[in-house]
Each structure stands twice: as C-alpha cells, then as structure tokens.
C-alpha cells in the first residue's frame, strides 16, 4: 500500500484528491492548520473525514512541514496548500511570498533531506500566463504573472524545475486552469454566482455584486482535474502539463447561464461594483492540454454548461435543505456578505 501526503487537504482540490487516492487504495495523510474554528467541512461532505490521517502543519513553519513528511513517510507528496485567492494576494502580498512561494521551498527541502525518492506534485496555475495573447496557452507559452499570487506561483514553478534538474527529484508542475465545483470557496466568482443564484431564486437575496464581467476563463470540473495530479506522478519521467478544457467563457456568460438554470434574467439582479475590480486582472485564459491528452491519456468530460448547472443545482439543494431545518456540513450559512468585508481592494 502506498502512502500519500496532501498539503492543503482541507481545500477544494485536497478533498477531491484525498477521495480519489483512497479509492485507489492509498493510505492518505493531509496537513491542516490550527484555526479558531475547524475547517473540515469538505472532507465531511465527501464522507471521508474518518478515513484520512491529519497532521498539523503550517507552510510558514519549516519544522512542521519537515515532521509532516517524517511521520507520514510518503511515496508521493501533493503540494496543494497555498493562499490561493488572487484578490487576497493584492491585500496580503507579503503573505503570498511567504506562503505560496517560500512554502514550496520548505516542502522540497524537507523531501531532499528526508528522502529524495519521494515524488512531488506542485500545484502550478494558468495565472502564470497573466496577460499574454488570448491564444490557447500550452507548456511553451511564455509566463507573464499579473498578481502577487501569480508571481509567488512562478517562484514555485521554477523551484520545482530546479529540484528536478538539480537533485533528480521526481517533481512535476501541473499547470491547471481554473477548476470549480460545489466545494469551491465562496469568494471565487463561480461559486459566488452559483450560491447567489440559489439564494435569489428562493427569495433569500436580492442582488449580486460583481467586478470585471468581461474577464474570460477556461473553467473545468475539479474532480476530473485531481486525477491528472495522480497521473503525472505515475509516469516514467517527471514533466510539466497544462490541464484545461480548451474553451473560454466570460464571467458575464457564467452569470447568464447560472440565472438561466433557475429561469431568471441575470440582468435584473447583477450589478457591477468597483470594489470587486482588481488593481490588475488577467483578461483571457484558454488552455491547450494536448500534451496531457497525448501522454496522460486524459481529457475532460464536463464542459461549461454542465459545470454551471452542477454548481447551481447543488447550492439550490443545500439552501432548500437548510430551509427545511436539515443540518449538514456546508460553508455558506456562516459566510459574510463580501460587500461588508473591508480590505485594501474592497474599501468602503
Ligand atoms: P483552496 O480551496 O483555497 O485550498 C487551499 C489549501 O491551502 C487549504 O487547505 C488551506 O487551508 C491551505 N493553506 C492555506 N494557507 C496555508 C498555510 N499557511 N499553511 C498550510 N496550509 C495552508 O484551493 P484549491 O482550489 O483547492 O487549490 C489547490 C491548489 O491549487 C492551490 O495551491 C491553488 O493555488 C492551486 N490552483 C488552483 C486552481 C483552481 O482553479 N482551483 C487552479 C490552479 C492552481 P485552510 O483550509 O486552513 O484555509
Ligand atoms: O476570478 C473576475 C475576476 O477569483 C475569476 C484561483 O483558483 O484560478 C483562480 O483564480 C475572474 C477574475 O479566480 C468577481 O476579476 C468578476 O478575472 O474566481 P476568481 P481567478 O482569479 O481566476 C486560478 C487558475 C488560480 O490558480 C487561483 O488559485 O472573475 N471577477 N467579479 C470576480 N472574481 C471574484 N472572485 N469575485 C467577483 O465578484
């Protein structure tokens, strides 16, 4: 039986990946941070909370990452933990460097010292491309990061390459384009929309405030994307892979489609609020994942319309069950309206 360590097991991808690895017979370990309120709802939602072993560790604390690797004795490390919200990286740019960039070095150094035979997956991102031309981006497209988050991820991308080339570690970058699901955090635009649409259709909310409606993204379905992480580490040689659907759609299209699912006209409810505009935004991302299709034998089956429908229907069902008094693990009831959060970019 193989051991896998997932940093960031409490996040969207961490939970789905844990579920996948358990189904493949792995012993799954995951790191979590001590928070004043525990955040295990995704693992509970997937009904795997009791099947994974949790290890307290924080990316800013090298010793905790080192002992996470020591006690789990992993064959494979999936490094997913990061401050992953691009908007927040403009509010906490130093944290982006500490956590999202230097965190990678802390994990890689631990692997190098403890057991360089451990295979390593780095959660790289389409944000590395930033504002280039809107052509399908692949492994050869130059990077042009456009946020503190993306700059931190660029550092992580190169550290992964350096440890592969310099120390012979089996280290892979998954350059994943946006991937979403009902387990997506509520601050990301897709889930913000699906949750608002569900509430509006049930009379629990009356409008939806958004920022840049013209931004275009290549949105896929998260449970399908975590499979690529595993596939990369099963190849004969380590490499870097773009993972995407190949389609691109605007935020406006996502909103239109989401309101359509509940037979409502998006224009009656959506307002643009400049507090949700970023100092710098990536205008268009569209991936070319031919290499992954060729070498990993992977291709996505859930495309845009189905993704929107899955997310809206799940949020609708949660709110309907909530109104009937059903209690279940779920994030939305305690999430504050973003318009009431005061940040550097969301100032009142
Ligand atoms: P997510 O839901 O935000 O999960 C992030 C995870 O990182 C959480 O478990 C979080 O713990 C943990 N974390 C944050 N700061 C930490 C710290 N200082 N020490 C230890 N753990 C910390 O993100 P995701 O969507 O699953 O994404 C997974 C990874 O893929 C991230 O690295 C992200 O940047 C990258 N990525 C995501 C996408 C996407 O579209 N989803 C695309 C490309 C790349 P808490 O639960 O305690 O906050
Ligand atoms: O924004 C625009 C926003 O925050 C998408 C992370 O997983 O994917 C994610 O990063 C677009 C941007 O995701 C609102 O300006 C408009 O253009 O959902 P998002 P992201 O920034 O693309 C990449 C691949 C990652 O690696 C990241 O970890 O939507 N937008 N109005 C809005 N965005 C938000 N959040 N909220 C709005 O109201």
Domain with 335 in it: what CATH number? 3.90.25.10
Q: Looking at the domain assignment, is residue 292 inside a domain?
A: no
pLDDT truncated to tens, each residue of the chain (348 aa)? Answer: 999 999 999 999 999 999 999 999 999 999 999 888 889 999 999 999 999 999 999 999 999 999 999 999 999 999 999 999 999 999 999 999 999 999 999 999 999 999 999 999 999 999 999 997 667 999 999 999 999 999 999 999 999 999 999 999 999 999 999 999 999 999 999 999 999 999 999 999 999 999 999 999 999 999 999 999 999 999 999 999 999 999 999 999 999 999 999 999 999 999 999 999 999 999 999 999 999 999 999 999 999 999 999 999 999 999 999 988 887 667 887 787 877 777 766 554
Beta-sheet strands, E only, within 33-144: 53-56, 76-79, 119-125
Task: Looking at the structure, tell me whether residues 233 and 263 fall in a common domain.
Answer: no
Cα 103 to middle of ligand 1, angstroms: 12
Give 34-37's long-range contacts (Cβ < 8 A, gap of 24+): 34/58
Q: Is residue 82 part of a domain?
A: yes
Q: Are 284 and 226 in contact (CB under 8 A)?
A: no
Asked if the structure places residue 127 within a domain, the reply is yes
In a domain, 132, yes or no: yes
Both structure tokens of 33: 């941070």
Shared-domain flag, residues 90 and 232 = yes
299 part of a folded domain: no
- Residues 257 and 317: their CA atoms lie apart, in Å, by 18
| Side-chain-facing half-sphere of 204: CA atoms under 13 Å | 16
* 290 in any annotated domain: no
Mutation choice for ligand 2 from 14, 83, 86, CB with most ligand atoms inside 8 A: 86
Question: Do residue 189 and residue 223 come from a single domain?
Answer: no
Ligand 2 site residues (CB inside 6 A) read 84, 86-87, 125-127, 177-178, 187-190, 192, 210-212, 215, 217, 251, 276, 278, 281-282
Q: Residue 343 to residues 89, 91, 337: CA-CA distances in angstroms?
A: 11, 7, 13
Angle subtended at Cα 76 by Cα 151 and Cα 185, rounded to the nearest 5 degrees: 50
Q: For atom 22 of ligand 2, which residue has the closest CA?
A: 178
Q: Which domain holds residue 37?
A: 3-179+219-243
Both structure tokens of 156 = 């992580």
**Same domain? 201 vs 84:** no
Identify whether 180 is a catalytic site residue: no
Q: In whole angstroms, what separates CA 209 from the centre of its chain?
A: 22
Number of domains in the chain: 2
Per the annotation, the verdict on 127 as an active-site residue is yes
Question: pTM of the prediction?
Answer: 0.97
User: CATH number for the domain including 113?
Assistant: 3.40.50.720
Q: Does one domain contain both 67 and 206?
A: no
């Amino acid at each position: 039986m193989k051991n896998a360590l997932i940093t960031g097991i409490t996040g969207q991808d961490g939970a789905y990946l844990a579920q996948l690895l358990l189904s493949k017979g792995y012993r799954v370990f995951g790191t979590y941070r001590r928070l004043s309120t525990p955040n295990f709802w995704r693992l509970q939602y997937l009904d795997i909370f009791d099947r994974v072993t949790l290890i307290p560790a924080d990316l800013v604390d090298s010793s905790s990452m080192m002992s996470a690797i020591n006690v789990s004795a992993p064959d494979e490390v999936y490094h997913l933990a990061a401050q992953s919200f691009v908007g927040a990286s403009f509010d906490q740019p130093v944290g982006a460097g500490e956590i999202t960039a230097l965190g990678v070095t802390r994990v890689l150094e631990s692997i190098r010292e403890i057991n360089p035979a451990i295979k390593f997956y780095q959660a790289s991102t389409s944000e590395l491309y930033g504002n280039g031309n809107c052509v399908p981006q692949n492994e050869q497209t130059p990077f042009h990061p456009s946020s503190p988050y993306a700059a931190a991820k660029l550092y992580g991308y190169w550290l992964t390459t350096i440890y592969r080339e310099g120390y012979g570690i089996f280290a892979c970058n998954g350059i994943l384009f946006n991937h979403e699901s009902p387990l997506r955090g509520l601050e990301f635009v897709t889930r913000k929309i699906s949750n608002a649409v569900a509430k509006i259709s049930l009379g629990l909310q009356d409008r939806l405030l958004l920022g840049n409606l013209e931004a275009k993204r290549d949105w896929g379905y998260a449970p399908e994307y975590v499979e690529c992480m595993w596939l990369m580490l099963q190849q004969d040689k380590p490499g870097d892979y773009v993972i995407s659907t190949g389609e691109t759609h605007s935020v406006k299209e996502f909103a239109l489609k989401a309101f359509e699912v509940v037979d409502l006209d998006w224009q009656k409810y959506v307002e643009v609020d400049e507090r949700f505009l970023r100092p710098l935004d990536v205008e268009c991302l569209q991936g070319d994942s031919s290499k992954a299709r060729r070498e990993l034998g992977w291709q996505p089956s859930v495309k845009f319309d189905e993704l929107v429908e899955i997310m809206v229907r799940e949020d609708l069902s949660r709110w309907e069950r909530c109104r009937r008094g059903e209690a279940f693990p779920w994030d939305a009831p305690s999430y504050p309206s973003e318009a009431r959060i005061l940040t550097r970019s969301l100032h009142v």
